[in-house]
Structure 1
């Protein structure tokens, strides 16, 4: 095939690679979905042949792509190849997780995050350029574990999404993979809701009294603040333990929890009551780290919160405060769909869930404000 032309590129439809014909390594790649990308094939510092993603043919002209390719070759000749060569999925996963955990010292968590991908993703796509990973690849990775170990499959899907987002942000891909379409291509996971186990919860009528007990507790301030924020926001304990100052917009009164830290794998916005903002400001005043609640530089453990409750004479669990909030919201007259949105529960009705695009943030804010006022109200004198 001769040199590529604009008209010829427009006419090409078959998936594959189409060289520019000059031996420079510059070529057009068409993926199985028919999307077209400019790619430069080069040899890295070790002599291994690698691909450099130059961008989408839909957004970049042939002339601009050739110029980009020339600049990349110049950078490689100057010894700057590592900055431009497209990483494999294995390399991208390591870099993505290093970027996410920069400044943290929890090596165990880093190892667990990567070991999950090592077991379930690397055998299939580990050595594939991250620019070439497709929805079909994601489905292939997830299919063997989707029904056998649903919880592990959910974690793998979230981590695939994280790596793809990192790749887009570093110009190694033109777009991320829509993981909702990956889910649609997999079988329905049966019985997931039936397996839910209720956690022992503080009765809602005792919640305000327990709140005052926390305020008077002699426990470390960061532990008290974490437990109080858990009560105020009705999020899962893991979300509070991993909360970061960079996730908090205190002026707007919103806490944004990223998708990879949510059970459902979707970003969750939490409206913050005045009481919650006060607690967060108090926690921030204890140190300058991004991680909000720490002990010895590490995030609080769930056992730390449990033990505080035990010392206060309670047998319930930190997770149970979600049930406490739910029961209060229903007796206080708040609609079920608002409290379910606050708890980040997914609607089991797939058709209804497909149309429910809003997270109801503005509607949830008055409910969370009322909950905060209920907890912090002074005791009534008979």
Structure 2
């Protein structure tokens, strides 16, 4: 044997395997290697091309797997690869290591949960699968699940609960994408063709119920005099004036707001697109913030019952219910967008950026460097004047 553990051209012998001491890799031929670690441990590895990609497959330690056994395993896996199969997948099947759907779903959930924005979404992600998928496929090995099985999972709720069914379909697809990437199954994702076997859902896409923009000034005047907690009234008006999302307003903290520069900077972690967003503050916004400052909290701008916690995400909805209005807080973003399009000459890109919408065109996104802040300041002042003057 040569130094550095490289065997020249001839195959290994049982004696050579026993005597191999120098750390390195010793070739037996046809991709089979004996690997010797610095610790002296020895193991067999098969290097092979699987569907055009190089893969290294462990065949076991030399203390337990003889040279002859390693050659037999290598031959078996080479035949599988030659026939278009995946030796790693077959190995896992033989070892019984292919997870059930439930095990795979919980693995995916554990890996993805840290990147999700809130604990509620993380809990709902897994609860949906437990409720609708586990009874049918939870105990089935993830490589044995096919499209007809998923059809049986989705059919009961496809028309009855279309939004839940849409989310369930997406989450099923995520689990099977992971299973394929992890080598637990091969072929296409079984969720891909499932809709062809489901009835067409004729329900139109539901948008957030919005107040017509001419009615917004009167609404703002009304909430200013509504019998509700001051933080709720101020927070709701601030949401409308800034055209921000509910979660962004509820989570606003004083260290995000620069009163001198008249700007509120929402950090990337709290934005839907995961990109920090600067919001220009009109004079009326500053008045709302001055009133909020009298609440005496140092953390959240619009605190809940405890100064250490923000308002509940139900606060605005409950106010609307008390006012007997079938609209949503999020709908005021639509009202703002309709007003900007129908009642002003502000450019479309300025209006979209005011809403922190992601640029869909990759070409446009590549050339857009700034955030049009000064133009957006003019737009938001115009919006504030429309609301305040009309009231």
Q: Normalization by structure 2: what TM-score?
A: 0.48
Select the structure of larger CA radius of gyration: 2
Greater RCO structure (CA 8 Å; 6+ sep): 1
Q: Normalization by structure 1: what TM-score?
A: 0.49
